[in-house]
Amino acid sequence: MRVGLTGGIGSGKTTVAGFFVELGVPVYNSDKRAKRLMTTSKEVKEAIISLLGKKAYKDKKLNKKYISKRIFTDSALLKKMNQIVHPAVAKDFLMWEGKQKAPYVVQETALIFENDKQDFYDFIVLVTAPIELRLERVIKRDGSSKKEILDRLQNQLQDDRKIPLSDYVLENIHLDDTRRSVKEIHSALLDNS
């Protein structure tokens, strides 16, 4: 069984994913795997350089600041970047999934609904949190400015559009409540597997 774990920037997807891992569930972190593929896959790397120029890499590493500044303010560029990275991640996920032996796996990924991929999953868990808390988390996590975060939010559907499309909605404000909710969702998913 395949479960999509999604939510907007700063909602706490990775925290929730960690709670699933604690319960023994294999979790594929699409963002981390994408960054890895962007530096290890020759084809992906060449396509990114072709799209954004040599500045996309600095000392053989991904120049995240430069890339973010370019793609999150230009929707056409973002779309082209996604056309490079998303197919590579999808292929990598399927290879990873084939090696798992659990009743279900979780793919942590931000843009399920934006990319119209909801039918790819048996169940979808949406992580939500109030916008001010999300901004605070992202500023603390990676030092982004409020404007940079709001630019990225423009490329994500609002929660009120995602909620009716999700099987489970988990509000991530207090960690104890979140952990308890993950355990309840885990039990329900096992009952469905």
Class of domain 1-26+103-193: alpha beta
The pLDDT value recorded for residue 35 is 92
**DSSP, res 118:** G
| CA distances in angstroms from 41 to 44, 46, 144, listed in the order given | 5, 9, 27
**DSSP, res 182:** H
The pLDDT value recorded for residue 115 is 87
How is domain 30-99 classified at the architecture level of CATH? 3-Layer(aba) Sandwich (3.40)
The pLDDT value recorded for residue 114 is 86
The pLDDT value recorded for residue 3 is 98
Ranges under pLDDT 70 in the chain? none
Q: Could you state, in order of their start, the residue ranges of all structural domains in the chain? A: 1-26+103-193, 30-99
Cα 52 to Cα 43: distance, rounded to the nearest angstrom: 14
Question: Burial, 51: exposed, middle or buried (Cβ in 10 Å; 0-12, 13-18, 19+)?
Answer: middle
The pLDDT value recorded for residue 125 is 98
The pLDDT value recorded for residue 163 is 96
**pLDDT one-digit tens code per residue, 44-100:** 999 999 999 999 999 889 998 899 889 988 889 999 999 999 999 999 999 999 999
The pLDDT value recorded for residue 7 is 95
The pLDDT value recorded for residue 80 is 95
- Same CATH fold, 30-99 and 1-26+103-193? yes
What is the pTM for the complete model shown? 0.88
The pLDDT value recorded for residue 137 is 93
The pLDDT value recorded for residue 147 is 84
